[in-house]
Amino acid sequence: MTHAAKGRTLHAFVAAGRVPGRQTRRQQYIGQFILDPHLPYERMPALDMKQAVRTVIVFRLLPVAAVPESIMQTVGVSGVMQGMRSVQVPVELNSTHFYETSGIEARTAVRRESQLVEEFVASQTGHEFSRWAIRIPKESLLLTDAYDNTDRVLYEAKALAGRSDVRMAVGQLYDYRRHVDVAGLRCAVLLPARPRADLRDLIEGAGLGLAFRDDDHFEVQQAARPS
């Protein structure tokens, strides 16, 4: 229940027969999951080894990546969410585990973005933050960087304030906001430094806000609410 707050991830396995000639059970990897934040678990009846009825706790897990049909049949689970759905998850959920990164430079960028988000969230006194986990059929889970529940603003963070980083952030926000059903939602780019004038014009022209670190504090310039 507290794995996200502790920066840990959930990985599920299922028993899949035994090692030939031995009593050792084989384990088949299913994938990485998060707890459904709306209904983390249910209490259900079940039979124990003596066929007595017991009440058990069944955790509701949402897959980070699509679960192959072959594994679904092996596990015998039909309730795993495979369709479109967006849910709010704790802001502490470690985003490093949700991206395929190649090389030290890419992993370093993800860590810097996570640190930037942590510092920004800590600086916004009185605001409540979460993230959005966006489930798209047959694709890996999309995890936004930070969502300000208080002001209804979705932030996308980048480790650098260069042109390619800003353009990527703009594209990601346009993609995310299609799936986040919040009335009056605003989106903003979060950067470690003030970007150049032309990039500020790009962000403003895209109808997005801008937040950036300025010495020991953050400057926040919000976009207008959509009509």
Burial of 54 (0-12, 13-18, 19+ CB in 10 A): exposed
pLDDT level of residue 30 (50, 70, 90 thresholds): confident
**Long-range residue pairs from 9-13, CB within 8 A, at least 24 positions apart, any chain:** 9/94, 9/97, 10/34, 10/35, 10/61, 12/61
Token duo for residue 124: 């916004």
**pLDDT winner (highest mean) among 7-16, 21-30, 77-86, 167-176:** 167-176
Going by C-beta distance under 8 Å and a sequence separation of 6 or more, which residues neighbour residue 1?
A: 35, 40
What is the pLDDT at residue 97?
Answer: 43
pLDDT digits (tens, 9 = 90+) for 138-153: 677 788 999 999 999 9
Residue in the block written with tokens 């993609």: 175
Backbone angles phi, psi at 114, to 5 degrees: -65, -40
Domain ranges of the chain: 10-80, 86-221
* Cβ 151 vs Cβ 186: under 8 Å: yes
Summary mean pLDDT of the chain: 80
- Quick one: pLDDT at residue 43? 75
The whole-number average pLDDT for the span 128-134 is 89
Is the pLDDT at 35 greater than 70? The verdict is yes
Of 52-61, 74-83, 215-224, the poorest mean pLDDT is in 74-83
- Identify the residue with better confidence: 98 or 74: 74
The string of pLDDT tens digits covering residues 201-220 is 999 999 999 999 999 999 99
Q: Which pTM was predicted?
A: 0.66
CATH 1.10.3470 assigned to domain 86-221? The reply is no
Q: Residue 107, Cβ neighbours under 10 Å: how many?
A: 13
**For residue 116, what pLDDT band results from cuts at 50, 70 and 90?**
very high
